[in-house]
Copies of this chain bind each other. A is one copy, B any other.
Amino acid sequence: MRVWSDLNELGLNAGKKARLHRILYQFGLRNGTALFLPYDQGLEHGPRDFFANPAAGDPAYIAKLAVDGGFNGIALQIGLAEKFYWGFAGEVPLILKLNGKTDVPSDRDALSPVHATVADAVRLGADAVGYTLYVGTPAAESDFAQFRQVRDEARRLGMPLIVWAYPRGSAIEGKGGKDSFYAVDYAARTASELGADAVKVNFPHPEKRAGVPAAYDADFSAQQAIDAVVRSANRTLLLVSGGAQTDDAAMLDKAQRSMEAGATGLIFGRNVWQREHGESLAFIARLQEILAKYPRGREPRQEPDAG
């Protein structure tokens, strides 16, 4: 299967295409790849994520980092978007996260309640919306019901929909866990089947095989796994998540393999800002070196007849 080579292949309406074009060709490297800065950890994990670099607890610091670092977008919950984005409006695309939760209760029946609408995103000048879908959760009935409304509103308003596709719920641990190749591959496909325009997944771990279905219980390389995940996402653009901070070499290796596999881009938060400002910029530069090697085709325009 070919990787998408221009936005006209994706069945998008004009608004979704205009906004994705803006994100992919008017920001960052302007080459059809994307580097996003997610900043929803204050809700999802609490302020403890900022202890490593207290400056990162300030949304204005992060927004400025997104502008200065040449990101293709910054993902915020609505409260921070309302209070901080006006100061950066138009300087970096906003991805408004529409649902979220704290990590105080357990994840057995994980559900990320909706707390904002696509119309809020439009009002705030966002270029995309984000939705966390807990693939495999027992609370799928509520999750799908929420998602259906979000997807429908996103379509009506021409807003690209990025799904944070996370395997969760009481059953997943017995089937290889939430980061297994099986789980990530299934999550990417689920987002595609349900109508995401882009999907954010963790990098798959093919070595996590305890309890996975037979097809995944074999020796796969990391590259084979991420190749498969990109194929599973098909015309849903794939974004690979950085997750918790780890060593740089490993992160860069994941980034390289993801882009090689055909991913559209990377969405790295803690690995970027859980370090001092200069180091953040240096790390961003290394990610962009990788993205620069994988330009995604710009659509040729249909030429009107000159006369």
Contact = CB atoms under 8 A, between A and B. Distances in A.
Contacts of A155: 82
Nearest to A235: B83
Interface stretch (A110-118, A246-254, A260-268, A285-293): A110-118
A245 interface: no
A289 to B, nearest CB: 25
Interface in A137-173: 137-138, 140-145, 147-148, 151-152, 155-158, 167, 169-172
A59 interface: yes
B304 A115 contact: no
Interface in A76-126: 77-91, 94, 99-102, 104-106, 111, 113-117, 119-120, 122-125
Most buried by B among A1, A59, A111, A301: A1
Interface in A224-249: 228, 231-232, 234-236
B140 A101 contact: yes
A13 B155 CA distance: 12
A302 B234 CA distance: 15
A96 to B, nearest CB: 11
B11 A14 contact: yes
A179 interface: no
A171 B106 contact: yes
Nearest to A124: B14
A11 B80 CA distance: 10
A54 interface: yes
Contacts of A100: 193
A275 interface: no
A10 B156 CA distance: 19
Tell me how many chains of this kind the complex includes.
Answer: 5
Contacts of A307: 54-55, 277
A1 B58 contact: yes
Given A104-B171, A193-B100, A113 B145 contact: yes
Contacts of A80: 192-193, 234
B61 A123 contact: no
A46 to B, nearest CB: 4
Nearest to A58: B1
Contacts of A302: 9, 60, 87
A141 B140 contact: no
A147 B42 CA distance: 18
A34 to B, nearest CB: 14
Contacts of A191: 79
10 contacts: A1-B58, A21-B89, A47-B228, A54-B307, A63-B304, A101-B140, A104-B172, A105-B137, A117-B148, A122-B157
